[in-house]
Copies of this chain bind each other. A is one copy, B any other.
């Protein structure tokens, strides 16, 4: 067994066996970076707002309820791109934590008007502070305010006009 050259760990070949794979055209694919960045941002959001146990989706619901009082489930869900059936369980979660409430409408007894509770408003206020001071602040630090604004503008443009 002394003819050596195949037993160990193949140092004979080219030699990029270590780890670093070549991403190739993948690094030019916008969708790929977009997805990766989105996962990172959501991960950081969850971390920053962990004390309040709010997901990005839940936070967006609370924000929307605060800015749009008197709306029903369908209106809120549609605005956020959530399908009505899937919005039910989400509201159940928020309502069971006393962050919002379903109130039967007097005009149309089919619909539930959604309201923030006092606790919901308090949690939202704290969440806003955490997001601004930890999450978005970190982004500003990484990109700078001007770049951050440009990035937001382009993403909004894609979301709306693409």
Q: Is the CB of A147 within 8 A of B138?
A: no
Q: Is the CB of A151 within 8 A of B154?
A: yes
CB-CB under 8 A for A34 and B155, given A63-B24, A162-B139: yes
Interface flag for A45 (CB, 8 Å): yes
For the complex, count residues of A whose C-beta is within 8 A of B.
60
User: Which of A67-75, A87-95, A96-104, A115-123 lies at the interface with chain B?
Assistant: A67-75
Q: Is the CB of B158 within 8 A of A67?
A: no
User: Which residues of A in the span 55-112 have a Cβ within 8 Å of any Cβ on B?
Assistant: 56, 60, 63-64, 66-68, 71, 75-76, 79, 81, 107
Copies of the chain in the assembly = 2
Interface flag for A1 (CB, 8 Å): no
Q: Is the CB of B138 within 8 A of A162?
A: yes
The winner among A33, A63, A64, A81 for most chain B CB atoms within 10 A is A33
Interface flag for A31 (CB, 8 Å): yes
Q: List 13 A-B contacts (CB under 8 A).
A: A21-B75, A23-B79, A27-B156, A28-B152, A29-B63, A30-B139, A30-B155, A31-B41, A31-B42, A33-B156, A40-B159, A142-B161, A151-B154
Known: A21-B76, A24-B68, A147-B154. 17 other contacts (CB 8 A): A21-B67, A22-B67, A22-B68, A27-B156, A28-B152, A30-B41, A31-B41, A31-B42, A31-B45, A33-B159, A34-B34, A34-B155, A35-B38, A36-B81, A143-B157, A150-B154, A151-B155
